[in-house]
Amino acid sequence: MARQTLTFACQNCGATYGRWQGKCDSCGEWNTLVEEGAAAPTPGAARVSRKGRLFNLEPLTGEASEAPRLASGMAELDRVTGGGFVRGSVLLMAGDPGIGKSTLLIQATAALARAGERAVYISGEEAVAQVRLRAERLGLSDAPVELASETAVEDIIATLTQGKIPRLIVIDSIQTMWTDTVDSAPGTVSQVRGAAQMLIRFAKRSGAAIILVGHVTKDGQIAGPRVVEHMVDAVLSFEGEGSHQFRILRAVKNRFGPTDEIGVFEMTGSGLREVANPSELFLSERDLGSPGTAVFAGMEGTRPLLVEIQALVAPTSLGTPRRAVVGWDTSRLAMVIAVLEAHCGVKLGGYDVYLNVAGGMRINEPAADLAAAAALVSSLANSPLPADAVYFGEISLSGAIRPVAHTPSRLKESAKLGFTRAVVPEAARSEAGDDGLRASQMATYVGSLTSLVADIAALGKPRQNAAQNSGQNA
């Protein structure tokens, strides 16, 4: 009798082991290994040996066609996917529970259905009545969306193969789906992988676009959608902070489009509203005239985006001062602080430093260095920065300000929002030309961090306790 081999799969990263162990060697998480029965045979992998079918090998040159796309009717969503859903592609929409994935997708499905396309929404989490209730609240009841509450992938595929193939299928969520071909319980890594594999094959075969919803859990109890990331064509991450209204949709991976575009939404009482001009939103609650805030003219993909960077520098009572960052890179902050200390005589060793990007936005650009440094110095020197100025530029370890890309777009967006001054790298002087010419008149060029620090310190009255540190450059 053949002995059944047991496998233990990490519910966090999907690594499999022959025996149980407390810690996953692959991702380092504890207590994430779960017994998943016999090693699941890859569905469809027939054991009978067959003769290979011959196929043609093609040259690189030849007919090439753009992937046919289906615009969702929601401009912010289409911006992130790169122009709409590609036929036969599978997209993973990942995000924390409660962030608004179901809301966004029922809105997208309804928009498509209203445009006359066959759009199907399968919920494995909510009953049909619940989804209807939500649709009613969102004012979408009249949209001819086809709705079901199902979790068996075989049944779903059999049903959807009937009649006209839908253009868009939403599966909410992949963690609730299960297939007969895998023995383990729904929600485990093997089930998630098996169900995703079947749905991906169905998408490729039928030409339907499928969106899989995936919950990200921190504790690893439910299979993270990590295992699915490698299998799908695109991964969109839906982010936001509970306390904020803004939701940001970001492409993490995209086989058919760019990965640096973001879509911005606002959660309202009647669903997600698209925010066409995010800068206005992110700057709407500015606290004018207080020290420690600087407006950063950033870029997200092809779109300029203005956000406020807030810094608080306060005397510390700890041996090792605190450095806390929200929305920016901690090591980037450490670098800026080091450059300020080494080249500009700004001593921050005795101070706690807090840095926050307003509105729940997350910045990845090195161009934010200059704005962060300006906010830090402004807080330390207790001198508010001019309310009508924006900052951008990368700081090098030598204390020089390095130029960044897209200077004209950044300047134009700033001018559009009423800013009259921009503190920019010296080297951008030649680049601003052309259509940014008028905007470039607002630019104040800085060559080194030292001169920026001197300018800021000259603006205001130093605090009592900061006087000996920051006043020296003025």
**Applying CB under 6 A, which residues contact ligand TYD?**
95, 97-103, 134, 137-138, 267, 269-271
Give whichever of 196 and 432 is closer to Mg ion, judged by the CB atom.
196
Cβ 130 to ligand TYD shortest distance, Å: 10
Q: Which amino acid is at 104?
A: L
Stated length of the chain: 474
Cβ 182 to ligand TYD shortest distance, Å: 25
Give whichever of 206 and 245 is closer to ligand TYD, judged by the CB atom.
245
DSSP letters for 328-351? S-HHHHHHHHHHHHHHH----TTE
In Å, the largest CA–CA distance within the chain is: 86
Give whichever of 28 and 98 is closer to ligand TYD, judged by the CB atom.
98
Give the C-alpha separation, 168 to 119, whole Å.
Answer: 5
Alpha-carbon Rg for the chain, nearest whole angstrom, is 27
Cβ 125 to ligand TYD shortest distance, Å: 8
Give whichever of 177 and 380 is closer to ligand TYD, judged by the CB atom.
177
Give whichever of 140 and 367 is closer to ligand TYD, judged by the CB atom.
140
Give the C-alpha separation, 375 to 381, whole Å.
Answer: 10
Beta strands in 341-409 (DSSP E): 351-357, 389-391, 394-395, 401-402
Cβ 215 to Mg ion shortest distance, Å: 8
Tell me which of ligand TYD, Mg ion, none is bound by residue 11, counting a contact when its beta carbon lies within the kind-specific cut-off of 5 to 8 angstroms: none
Cβ 270 to ligand TYD shortest distance, Å: 5
Return phi, psi of residue 428, to 5°.
-85, -5
Cβ 139 to ligand TYD shortest distance, Å: 10
Tell me which of ligand TYD, Mg ion, none is bound by residue 87, counting a contact when its beta carbon lies within the kind-specific cut-off of 5 to 8 angstroms: none
Q: Which residues contact 308 (CB under 8 A, 6 or more apart)?
A: 282, 283, 286, 293, 294, 295, 296, 357, 358, 359
Q: Which stretch binds Mg ion (CB under 5 A): 94-102, 114-122, 278-286, 396-404?
A: 94-102
Q: Which stretch binds Mg ion (CB under 5 A): 97-105, 132-140, 334-342, 386-394?
A: 97-105
Give whichever of 138 and 147 is closer to ligand TYD, judged by the CB atom.
138
Cβ 197 to ligand TYD shortest distance, Å: 23
Tell me which of Mg ion, ligand TYD, none is bound by residue 119, counting a contact when its beta carbon lies within the kind-specific cut-off of 5 to 8 angstroms: none
Cβ 175 to Mg ion shortest distance, Å: 11
Which residue shows structure tokens 């929601």? Answer: 74
Q: Which stretch binds Mg ion (CB under 5 A): 9-17, 101-109, 304-312, 328-336?
A: 101-109
Tell me which of Mg ion, ligand TYD, none is bound by residue 39, counting a contact when its beta carbon lies within the kind-specific cut-off of 5 to 8 angstroms: none
Q: Which stretch binds Mg ion (CB under 5 A): 17-25, 96-104, 162-170, 219-227?
A: 96-104
Q: Which amino acid is at 197?
A: Q
Helix extents (H) in 185-329: 189-206, 226-229, 278-282
Nearest to 358 by CA among 290, 425, 418: 290
Tell me which of ligand TYD, Mg ion, none is bound by residue 137, counting a contact when its beta carbon lies within the kind-specific cut-off of 5 to 8 angstroms: ligand TYD
CB 35 within 8 A of CB 236: no
Give whichever of 213 and 453 is closer to ligand TYD, judged by the CB atom.
213
Give whichever of 270 and 330 is closer to ligand TYD, judged by the CB atom.
270
In our burial notation (b when 16+ CB lie closer than 10 A, e otherwise), range 243-272 reads eebbbbbbbeebebbebebbbbbbbeeebb
Give whichever of 107 and 188 is closer to ligand TYD, judged by the CB atom.
107
107 touches Mg ion by CB under 5 A: no
Helix extents (H) in 52-127: 75-81, 101-114
Respond yes or no on whether the N-terminal peptide bond of residue 409 is cis (omega within 30° of 0): no
List 102, 175, 188, 440, residue binding Mg ion (CB under 5 A): 102
Q: Which stretch binds Mg ion (CB under 5 A): 102-110, 146-154, 376-384, 422-430?
A: 102-110
**Which residues pair with residue 389 across a beta bridge?**
421
Cβ 172 to ligand TYD shortest distance, Å: 7
Q: Which residues contact 232 (CB under 8 A, 6 or more apart)?
A: 90, 91, 92, 196, 200, 212, 253
Cβ 219 to ligand TYD shortest distance, Å: 16
How many residues of this chain interact with Mg ion, rule: CB under 5 A? 1
- Under DSSP, the state recorded for 147 is E
Residue 126 neighbours by CB distance under 10 Å: 15
Tell me which of ligand TYD, Mg ion, none is bound by residue 68, counting a contact when its beta carbon lies within the kind-specific cut-off of 5 to 8 angstroms: none
Give whichever of 175 and 382 is closer to Mg ion, judged by the CB atom.
175
Q: Which residues contact 54 (CB under 8 A, 6 or more apart)?
A: none
Cβ 104 to Mg ion shortest distance, Å: 10
Nearest to 69 by CA among 86, 90, 88, 91: 86
Give whichever of 125 and 352 is closer to ligand TYD, judged by the CB atom.
125
Give the C-alpha separation, 295 to 6, whole Å.
Answer: 57
Q: Which residues bind Mg ion (CB under 5 A)?
A: 102
